[in-house]
């Protein structure tokens, strides 16, 4: 046994405690120098990473993502069985459950479990985390992976806003998501529960549901939803219907809004229909995104 291996073996107990592995839960893997000279680089080892029995880990009951594609889990399971787990999951200790709760990586945990592996690599967060901190991390990871369906995303946004007392603008700034995306997602929560269930089940896309939310007449809304779910109408078709101006005394209402900023810049919004306050806001947000994209293109 080499000097490095002897040193690592002697440190195993203390190192296990430092990464949050409790007695009877796990043992550390052995390390070897590998018999080669690694380049001298400036790096720090992450001592919070270790292995544990997958049965000591459970999903977080409050995880925003509830639906998982079983085919994807099967493919990932086969890959992990062949090549091993390439990325650790993030877990935190829960005294209430007597287990490590998954913060991020439930899909990988499911795949490891399905593959029948006896160990799972984890990054152990052995400190107190606020409810807001946990939900924000889970939400951002799911958004980056595009793992949430429309309703899961909407409920996650609403939960974070409630936990922190944020409005839509503050939420968008905190998680780096456009306010337009937040507003569209939150509009889904105003739909009847039966329509929310159809969105969650994949019968109606979130983009189509957003257009449905603009329709105030519930009967018309339900009819449009049925036609969209059956494939008779596309998202664009529903958008055209929801954008039709409402007649008032036989006269078509239009929008002609002029906004003057503090530095005397005038912004004019015109439309052949009544946009309403939310429509004006959406138009301004979209215009800002177009200008931002144009600036990035010029800078590239």
Give me the residue spans of the domains in the chain: 3-29+47-128, 135-248, 253-299
Question: What does the pLDDT read at residue 35?
Answer: 56
Q: Predicted confidence band at 263 (pLDDT cuts at 50, 70, 90)?
A: confident
pLDDT at residue 66 in the model: 77
C-alpha to C-alpha distance for 137 and 284, rounded to whole angstroms: 29
Instruction: Please compute the mean of the pLDDT values over residues 122-147 and round it to a whole number.
Output: 78
Which listed CATH number (1.20.1290.10, 3.30.9.10, 1.10.30.50, 1.10.10.2830) goes with 135-248? 1.10.10.2830
What does pTM read for this prediction?
A: 0.49
Residues contacting 59, CB < 8 A, separation 6+: 101, 102, 106, 109
pLDDT at 12 over 80: no
Give ∠ CA 62-153-244 in degrees, rounded to 5.
150
The residue with greater pLDDT, 134 or 190, is 190
| CATH fold for the domain made of 3-29+47-128 | 3.90.1530
Cα-Cα-Cα-Cα dihedral sign, residues 247, 249, 252, 253: negative
The two domains 3-29+47-128 and 135-248 share their CATH topology (first three levels equal) = no
């Amino acid at each position: 046994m080499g000097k490095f291996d002897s040193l690592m073996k002697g440190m195993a107990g203390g190192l296990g405690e430092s990464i949050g592995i409790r007695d009877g839960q796990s043992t550390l893997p052995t390390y070897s120098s590998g018999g080669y000279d690694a380049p001298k680089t400036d790096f720090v080892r992450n001592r919070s990473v270790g292995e544990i029995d997958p049965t000591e880990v459970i999903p977080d009951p409050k995880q925003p993502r509830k639906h998982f594609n079983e085919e994807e889990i099967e493919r990932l399971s086969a890959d992990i069985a062949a090549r091993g787990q390439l990325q650790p999951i993030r877990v935190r200790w829960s005294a209430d459950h007597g287990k490590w709760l998954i913060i991020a990586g439930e899909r990988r945990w499911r795949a490891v479990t399905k593959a029948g592996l006896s160990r799972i690599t984890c990054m152990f967060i052995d400190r107190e985390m606020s409810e807001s901190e946990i939900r924000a991390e889970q939400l951002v990871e799911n958004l980056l992976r595009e793992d949430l369906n429309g309703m899961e995303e909407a409920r996650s946004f609403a939960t974070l806003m409630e936990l922190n007392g944020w409005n839509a603008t503050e939420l968008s700034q905190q998680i780096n998501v456009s306010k337009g995306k937040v507003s569209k997602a939150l509009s889904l929560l105003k739909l009847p529960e039966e329509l929310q269930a159809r969105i969650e089940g994949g019968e109606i896309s979130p983009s189509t549901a957003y257009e449905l939310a603009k329709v105030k007449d519930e009967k018309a809304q339900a009819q449009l939803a049925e036609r969209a779910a059956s494939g008779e109408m596309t998202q664009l078709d529903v958008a055209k219907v929801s954008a039709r101006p409402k007649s008032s005394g036989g006269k078509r209402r239009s929008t002609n809004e002029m906004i003057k900023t503090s530095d005397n810049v005038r912004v004019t919004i015109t439309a052949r229909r009544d946009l309403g306050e939310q429509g004006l806001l959406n138009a301004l947000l979209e215009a800002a995104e177009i200008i931002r994209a144009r600036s990035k293109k010029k800078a590239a």
